[in-house]
Amino acid sequence: MSTPSSNSLLGRREFLTAASTTAAAWALLQDAAGAENPAANVTDKTSTIRITGLRTYWVGPIVFLRVETNHGVVGWGEVKGVDPRVSKPLAESLFELLIGENPTRIEHLWQKLYRAHRDIRGGAFLVHTLAGFDMALWDITGKLWGVPVYRMLGGPTRDRIRVYHTAKAVKVPPHGVYEHSGTPADIDRMVNAIKAAREKVGPDGAVMFDAHSAVPPATLIQLAAAIKPYDVLFIEEPAVPGNIEVFKRLKQSINIPLATGERDRTIWEFVAYLHERCIDIVQPDCCHTGGITSMKKIATLAEAYHVPLAPHCTANFLGIAASLHVTASIPLFLIHEFYPDNHGFNLKGITRMDFEVDKDGYVSLPPGPGLGVEVDEKFLETAAKQPQTYKWPGAKLRDGSVADY
């Protein structure tokens, strides 16, 4: 006859035996599952591709990045909008964080670079350089899968992409820098430029006015009062970024859609515009805001506020393609800046992308695999060996004081 204590002891033995058997079975299942078990492969143990090398090329205003792997697949990116004398060695320094990593872990590597140093995260030099690496990683991953990047972003949401400048879409520059309140001559200069552009594209075309932060708030309010709300698709860069209250004041005074974003970086700088409802269109630049990964997040954030994108883009074909791939995949989009013919930005002969612009002013979706951009490496190497210079830009008012531009 068993006693309560012996029954208890027997129960514990049976439990331990069962647990041991279960653990052994689980271990066998784990061994058997191996590569098929997603939870066991978060570090891509079954993939042998690794980042092995980096080559940097400084040509004109751009630093080109060539990220190499042990599988022979390479990815290309570009760094622009900052002094290349700084961004080139910065890219070579940041590469220390990428060597030996799997290039397809794009989000992880983006976070690793962005958050690598608490005191420089979010700054222009870091984020612009990060954008070049991000493009290269997406380029590698698309080539590995044999698909255009937009396929990995959820697939295309449109069949073609509206761009400017075309016969049906023109952006008007401010034609100068302005004082903090305008004269009749100042206002007439801008109004007449807008009128000429409207006559060129017709009533069904698009005219955009780029204030370029060169038209101070009071002068911009004067201009807006001199044109009808529908004369332009939007006013771009209505103020210098940094104080959201200025944008709020302009939005309260101007009945024309306002757009900005080319000098804002990552979701953390865009969220204030959206939350305060002072911008109608956001204009992230893929090369300025941290690359494809970051631009896609900005588009999703803006979607929550029903705000479309009109991407800023003054890049080489690598930056153009990266931006177009994101644009192809997002739901809310208005128009895309597009300078394929070397309007001071695209360096002829180094890169090439197949595209067509139709009669309506729409460009075809970017090709693949990856970014779909061909790089003439011999031409690039020759160009990079030539003496390179960089000059800091700047603008002044008539009295010699520093102006925004």
Kindly report the backbone phi and psi dihedral angles of residue 404, in degrees, each rounded to the nearest multiple of 5, phi listed first: -80, 155
Torsion of the alpha carbons at 210, 212, 218 and 221, rounded to the nearest 10: 10
The answer to whether the beta carbons of residues 349 and 125 sit under 8 Å apart is no
DSSP class of residue 314 equals -
**What is the model's pLDDT at position 22?**
46
Where are the alpha helices (H) located in 124-265, listed in sequence order? Answer: 124-145, 149-152, 184-201, 217-226, 244-253
At 180-189, the pLDDT tens digits run 999 999 999 9
Res. 224: pLDDT tops 90: yes
pLDDT(135) > 50: yes
Structural domains of the chain ordered from first start: 51-151 (3.30.390.10), 154-379 (3.20.20.120)
Instruction: Tell me: pLDDT of 6 over 50.
Output: no
For 30-39, 170-179, 306-315, 328-337, which range has the lowest pLDDT when averaged over its residues? 30-39
Percentage of residues of the chain with pLDDT beyond 70: 87
Distances, alpha carbon 17 to alpha carbons 6, 30, 101, in Å: 16, 20, 43
Average confidence (pLDDT) over 46-60: 93
Q: Is the dihedral of CA 26, 31, 36, 38 positive or negative?
A: positive
Give the separation between CA 351 and CA 318, rounded to whole angstroms. Answer: 7
Strands (E), 47-114: 51-59, 62-69, 75-79
pLDDT above 90: residue 284: yes
Write down the pLDDT at residue 1.
46
Q: Is 80 exceeded by the pLDDT of residue 343?
A: no
Output the furthest CA–CA distance in the chain (Å, rounded). Answer: 112
Q: Can you read off the two tokens belonging to residue 212?
A: 């370029």
Sign of CA dihedral 382, 76, 78, 103: negative
Q: Is the pLDDT of residue 38 over 70?
A: no
Q: Which of 31-45, 173-187, 219-233, 322-336 has the lowest mean pLDDT?
A: 31-45
User: Would you say residue 20 has pLDDT above 60?
Assistant: no
- Per-residue pLDDT tens over the stretch 359-403: 999 999 999 899 999 999 999 999 999 999 999 988 899 999 999
242, containing H or E segment: none
Q: Say what the pLDDT of residue 4 is.
A: 46
pLDDT single digits (tens) 345-369: 767 889 999 999 999 999 999 998 9
Mean pLDDT of 114-139: 96
Residues 6 or more apart in contact with residue 52 via CB below 8 angstroms? 68, 69, 70, 99, 100
Q: Look at residue 110 and tell me whether its pLDDT is greater than 60.
A: yes
Residues designated catalytic = 212, 312
Q: What is the mean pLDDT of residues 184-201?
A: 96
Within 159-290, residue ranges assigned H as helices are: 184-201, 217-226, 244-253, 266-275
Q: Give the integer Cα–Cα distance in Å for 62 and 359.
A: 31
CA–CA separation, 206 vs 381, rounded Å?
40
Q: 94 falls in which pLDDT band (50, 70, 90)? A: very high
Q: What is the mean pLDDT of the chain?
A: 90
- Span of 32-36, 205-209, 219-223, 296-300 with lowest mean pLDDT: 32-36
Q: What is the predicted pLDDT for the residue at 281?
A: 98
Helices 124-145, 84-94: crossing angle, 10 deg rounding:
60
Q: Compute the distance between CA of residue 251 and CA of residue 233 in angstroms, rounded to an integer.
A: 15
